[in-house]
Structure 1
Amino acid sequence: MDTKVTFRIATENDLEEIVRMLADDILGDKREQFVLPLPESYKSAFKAIDADPNNELVVACSGKEIIGVQQITFTPYLTHQGGWRVRTAASQRGQGVGSKLIQFGIQRAKERGCRMVQLTTDKKREEAIRFYERLGFKATHEGMKLQL
């Protein structure tokens, strides 16, 4: 990808484009609701993320166009001698954007003194899993969820 990719903290003005991207895949089209105006739940969630110093909603941009998004959550733990962990979920658009987005998250983790980056992805996303493995991530734990 020749276009320069930049990263910045998302603003509420980015919310429509972020939700559009989240809804634009085989899993997201079943769980997201991209309608205008956006449901209030997205705005409430954004405000909570934005107000929390341990969360960063980061957008990747090509010029003024938003081409990727990831939420970084800095989690304090007692394990790893009280080190912080980062949980990153990334959506990518275009060649190379996903790698740059993940590298940006890793750099933010280092800046915050994290000792581990933990990434989650759906098991159905086999291509994404291979992508994360190419970046050096290893599937060392089994994740559990309970839908409410």
Structure 2
Amino acid sequence: MQFDPALAARAAFERCKSELGSDWSTAVDLEDTFSSNAGEIARHAHLELLALADCHPRARSFQAFCIYITWQQVTEETIARHFQTGINLCEAYLAASDGDLDDDREQITELHESFKAGLGLTEEDEIQIEFRRDTPKGGD
């Protein structure tokens, strides 16, 4: 990875205050719990942050923040569910951007590939590409 997801999370979180309105104080409390704990407490705070993100689907910086902290969850607890959550969040973020450039798009694209690689999905894609290349086409 060409960046530090923890630093990117911090920067994205600092930008999202105006996006969350009255939910900002809740986000601050949950982020503090997530950042200062591990295990079940951090996992619960992560889920609550994701639920808050669901309430603010247009909050781009907050959505980016949630993607970055999902990567942190992956490094804390390497399970398929976190990788899949990361993929889903990245795909929603990237689909909503319509190709617009923003502060996080390049990094989220890189994380998307990392989440997929964690589930072995990039290897499958490479195999499929090779299969299509080796498959005879009409008229061959």
Query: TM-score by structure 1 length?
Result: 0.29
Q: Which has the higher strand share?
A: 1
Greater CA radius of gyration, 1 or 2? Answer: 2
Q: Which has the higher contact order (CA 8 A, sep 6+)?
A: 2
